[in-house]
Amino acid sequence: MDRGVIASLLNHPLNAALVLLDVDGQPLAANAKARELRLHERLSRYCAQLAGCRAQAPGQKAVSCPLPDGQARLDGWLSAIHDPGGSLLGYLYSYSTDASAHAAQWLVAMEAGGNVAWDWDVAADRLTRRGPHGTHTELRLMDSVHPDEQPLLRQAIAAHLHDPAQPFACQFRIRDAQGQWRWVLDRGRVVAHAADGQPLRMAGTYTDIQPLKALEDDLRAQHALLCRAQRVAGMGSWSWDCGRQRMQWSPESHAAIGVEAGSLPSGWGWMRQLGRDARRHLLTVWRRLHADPQATEFEVCWGREPVLQQQLRVWLEPEHDASGRLRRVVGQVQNISGQHRTDALIRWRTELLNRVSALGRIGGCEIEASTREMQWTEECYRIHGLRKAPVTLDQALALYTPDSRDSFEAALARIAQGGLPEQLDLCFYRPSGQRVWVQVLIELDRRDGLPERHVVLFRDITREREADERLELLAHYDLLTGLPNRMLLREQASEAILEARERGAILAMLFVDLDGFKGINDTFGHATGDILLKAAASRLHQNLRNADLFARFNGDEFIVVLRNLAEPEDAGHVARKLIASLAEPLYREDATLKVGASVGIALLDETRNDFDTLLRAADAAMHAAKEAGRNTYQYYSQDALARTQRLLEIEHALNGALDRDEFSLAYQPLIHTREGHAPSIEALLRWNTPRIGPCSPAEFIPIAEKCGEIIRIGDWVLNEVCRQAVVWEQAGLRFDRIAVNVSAIQLRERGFAERVIAICDRHGWSPRRLELELTESALIRDTEALRQCFDVFEQHGVPLAVDDFGTGFSNLHYLNRFPVQRLKIDRSFVQGMLHDAGTAEVTQAIVHLGHALGMRVVAEGVETAAEEAMLRRQGCDELQGYLYSKPLRSREMMRWLREGGCDTSTPPPAEHSRITATL
């Protein structure tokens, strides 16, 4: 290069900094601007690092060559210098800070990014494009634009020219240098206006987006295919933005759910479309997703109206940000209502078939004739008592009895050889040991394309078989004990009686009745009672000979017929053995059960020579044994028969006695041992019946309890006592408490306590002035019903007393369990205390016990002054007996009260008066 030219270039006042470099990149000379920037020093320092730029420069007009400059950098250009022959002479490095230089840099950057700059002269419609490496192309605006996109381009330009604030952007196709159409993204704006505001010039860039368009077309095709598949499958997509709390639904999701497009809320409002259970289930899934962010799926019921509900299956997958927080949840939803309905229909039809099979107890199976492979129905598994698992024919036949197995195999062989369908009754045993009878129908099925197979239907006929056997059993045997019943007993006993009469042998009939069984049955339940009956029957049977007849007659009653006795006394020996066999108690869980036996014996003779007469005699003797103290035996006698007939007559006479107005009350006073207290009165029930003559309460009350008449009689007594007490009260008579003796049967009746309060209210008599006398046997059975009854009495202040105290149970725990206020000493203790020091100590102990428990003590049966004196010394609170008055009618009782029974001027104490009705 000419030295003058170099000197002129370096000394010219240019804005650019120029440095001349040799072929190795070392600076040779620099102009003033370069020296000012110390550019030559940096080029020398970075000479080695710029070797790559120097290698590119000979083949291009200029190469971008940035230099570090502290915190910034200098973006310069490196050009190669050649001689006329093309040999490399050196390099020229230039750096400029003016706008044109920077524009050139931006053009290079745009070219590197695949962008093309353009400049459009609006008035002349001349478009200049600056291509790669500074190439320029001039043409009209629409020359290279695809005809289909030209209207769109004109519309976009017109919109920008009309409103420059609206940016210009448009996608269209242009023809490239090879003549192919390529998609570009064009952007620009107006950069110059005329004096009148008209646009003169627009500038911008366009970017080749052909690959993106191809990818977009692929994505669009895939999306269309996905949408079509989702529509066919009834599916849709959705996403939940956790930060914005927004839900996005695809159109397919609306269609899947069955709602109009765009009708689903974008917030949480869509959950209102779910029922309560569905919302609760969804919230559970959502909490589980936060705790364990894993992809999951679940089913939910959409809709609040049952008729319009849709069953949806939902898939969801969480997306997290860089910190691991849940950012978004995406998923799909599918309408599976049709599938659910189909599944439900299949289940219903299957269940219907199974129910029909179960109802008819009909199972089926198919047996392939050649391989003996077998398929069973569910009912067939149930009939055979097997779990649902593959079963071979040999395994199934192993359950059958040998005869049934051989019959089944023979039938299969005959039918396979062309025989007609057969029906068999077969027997097998389930794995549990239960015997089962089945009726089997076998036939051969031949169909084209399928192997021959036996179709076998099994119908469970066990019930029919057992019903026949049961009819036979019921006709002659007791199901609980397995003993002969009365029908079979009558047949066998009649034959034994006839045989004994013909041979002149001694024959005895024993009527055995269990003592205490009814209480155990009522207390522990019928299941325990049945166990006890079976145990008692077994023990009794073990003490009899094989030749003796033993049968259950009724309930807890058994009949024994002893044949060929050596002496009549032998019947008593057997009776003692039977009673002793029941002495050992029976243990059940934490309870000890014990019963005795009352045995009546009747011997065959001239007057009792058939079954019925012997039975009546033995029954009468059994009742005599019970009256003798139970747990013993009695031979038949005329007195025993008379007593039995008497009991039967009383029971019949009690029926309707109340309607015939045969009952009345008598009253006996009770005297306080302390002066100034009004007496008490005990009402005694009397029965005046012309049918059987005089009958004491001790005789008819137990029978009334047994036949149930005690309930009506007790209500009558309560009403009559309250009515009479009100009459005496209105007449100005002073008396203490009023009490009624209540049976244990009454206490156990539901609603008895409420009925007592209602009777008091009906007659206007305060429940606090009505005392109920109870027996120890009524209190010893602590039941929930009894506690509820006493709770009602306690709420209304009804006082309670224990009658005949000391003659019953020794366990006094019930005195603390129930609100008892008084104890009545039985008359047997009062009558014996003057002659027996031990009896006197008993009465004294009862008084001390009652006072220690905060109770009053009453002594009944006081007949002498000496008895009265001793009872007063012992601290007894009240006395009753013939010493003061015999039982009186109501008018006589009124006269007794007026004439000296009590001091009417003395006010009654706070504990009120009492009348006791003894039932």
Could you read off the pLDDT of 153-167 as tens digits, one per residue?
A: 889 888 888 888 888
- pLDDT (mean) for 185-201: 81
* 769: DSSP letter: G
Burial group, residue 590, by CB count within 10 angstroms (0-12, 13-18, 19+): exposed
Quick one: pLDDT at residue 2?
Answer: 54
Query: How far apart, in Å, are the Cα atoms of 450 and each of 29, 393, 819?
Result: 105, 20, 85
Give DSSP secondary structure letters for 357-390.
HHHHTEEEEEEETTT--EEE-HHHHHHHT--SS-
Provide the percentage of residues in the chain whose pLDDT is more than 90: 23
- pLDDT (mean) for 157-184: 86
Token pair, residue 161, equals 């020219």
Across 296-305, 341-350, 458-467, the highest mean pLDDT is recorded for 458-467
Q: Are 122 and 201 in contact (CB under 8 A)?
A: yes
Q: Which of 688, 684, 819, 695 lies closest to 740, judged by CA?
A: 684
With a cut of 60, say whether residue 372 has pLDDT above it: yes
Stated as kind and residue range, the H or E segment containing 87 is none
Q: What is the pLDDT of residues 671-709, one digit of tens each?
A: 888 877 888 888 889 998 888 878 888 888 888 888 888
| Higher local confidence (pLDDT), 808 or 190 | 190
Burial group, residue 599, by CB count within 10 angstroms (0-12, 13-18, 19+): buried
586-588 vs 557-565, strand pairing mode: unpaired
Quick one: pLDDT at residue 702?
Answer: 85
Rounded to 5°, the CA angle 642-643-644 comes to 90
Q: Which of 289, 314, 295 lies closest to 237, judged by CA?
A: 314
With a cut of 50, say whether residue 103 has pLDDT above it: yes
Distance of CA 782 to the CA centre of its chain: 33
One-letter identity of residue 561: V
- The 3 state secondary structure assigned to 838-879 is HHHHHHHHHHHHHHHCCCEEEEECCCCHHHHHHHHHHCCCEE
Residue 149's CB: how many other CB atoms inside 10 A? Answer: 19
How many Cα atoms are found within 13 Å in the side-chain-facing hemisphere of 552?
20
Q: Which pairs from 123-130 meet CB under 8 Å and 24+ separation? A: 123/200
One-letter identity of residue 13: P
Quick one: pLDDT at residue 905?
Answer: 36
pLDDT band at 913 (very low <50, low <70, confident <90, very high): very low
Q: Are 802 and 774 in contact (CB under 8 A)?
A: yes
Q: At what angle do helices 710-730 and 752-763 cross, to 10 degrees?
A: 30
Q: Are 665 and 686 in contact (CB under 8 A)?
A: yes
With a cut of 70, say whether residue 355 has pLDDT above it: no
* 252: DSSP letter: H
Edge-to-edge strand order for the sheet containing 181-193?
Answer: 136-139, 126-130, 115-121, 199-208, 181-193, 168-175
CA distance 532 to 596: 12
Quick one: pLDDT at residue 512?
Answer: 95
Q: Are 19 and 27 in contact (CB under 8 A)?
A: yes
Quick one: pLDDT at residue 902?
Answer: 45
Q: Is 480 left (phi over 0), alpha (psi -120 to 50) or beta?
A: alpha
The rounded mean pLDDT for the chain is 82
Quick one: pLDDT at residue 114?
Answer: 61
Q: What is the pLDDT of residues 478-516, one digit of tens each?
A: 888 889 998 899 999 999 999 999 998 999 999 999 988
Stated as kind and residue range, the H or E segment containing 482 is none
Provide the sign of the torsion angle of the four alpha carbons 903, 905, 907, 913, taken in this order: positive
With a cut of 70, say whether residue 782 has pLDDT above it: no
- pLDDT (mean) for 22-34: 86
Quick one: pLDDT at residue 911?
Answer: 37
pLDDT band at 113 (very low <50, low <70, confident <90, very high): low
Quick one: pLDDT at residue 906?
Answer: 38
Q: Which of 539, 546, 553 lies closest to 510, judged by CA?
A: 553
800-805 vs 771-774, strand pairing mode: parallel
Q: What is the pLDDT of residues 224-262, one digit of tens each?
A: 776 676 666 667 777 888 878 888 887 777 777 777 777
Q: Are 63 and 53 in contact (CB under 8 A)?
A: yes
Q: What is the pLDDT of residues 629-678, one digit of tens each?
A: 788 998 887 766 677 777 888 888 888 888 888 999 999 898 888 877 88
pLDDT band at 64 (very low <50, low <70, confident <90, very high): confident
CA distance 674 to 872: 9
Q: What is the pLDDT of residues 784-830, one digit of tens each?
A: 778 888 889 989 999 998 887 877 654 566 677 778 888 999 888 99
Query: How far apart, in Å, are the Cα atoms of 740 and each of 404, 502, 645, 715, 720?
Result: 72, 61, 31, 10, 11
Residue 321 phi, psi (nearest 5) = -85, -175
Token pair, residue 376, equals 């069973």
Provide the percentage of residues in the chain whose pLDDT is more than 70: 87
Quick one: pLDDT at residue 497?
Answer: 93
Q: What is the pLDDT of residues 271-326, one digit of tens each?
A: 777 777 877 888 888 888 777 778 888 887 877 777 677 788 888 888 888 777 88
Q: What is the pLDDT of residues 842-901, one digit of tens each?
A: 999 999 998 988 899 999 999 999 999 999 999 999 999 999 999 999 899 999 988 876
Residue 196 phi, psi (nearest 5) = -85, 5
Token pair, residue 851, equals 């006072």
Quick one: pLDDT at residue 910?
Answer: 36
Quick one: pLDDT at residue 424?
Answer: 93
| 3-class DSSP assignment, residue 914 | coil
Q: Are 514 and 578 in contact (CB under 8 A)?
A: no
Rounded to 5°, the CA angle 573-579-581 comes to 105
List strand residue ranges (DSSP E) for 2-157, in order: 17-21, 27-30, 63-69, 72-82, 88-95, 115-121, 126-130, 136-139
Contacts of 812 (CB under 8 A, 6+ apart): 849
Quick one: pLDDT at residue 811?
Answer: 54
CA distance 674 to 877: 7
pLDDT band at 736 (very low <50, low <70, confident <90, very high): confident
Torsion of CA 364, 369, 372, 374, to 10 degrees: -20
pLDDT band at 11 (very low <50, low <70, confident <90, very high): low
CA distance 232 to 212: 29
Beta bridge partners of 425: 439
Q: Which of 403, 396, 451 lies closest to 425, judged by CA?
A: 403
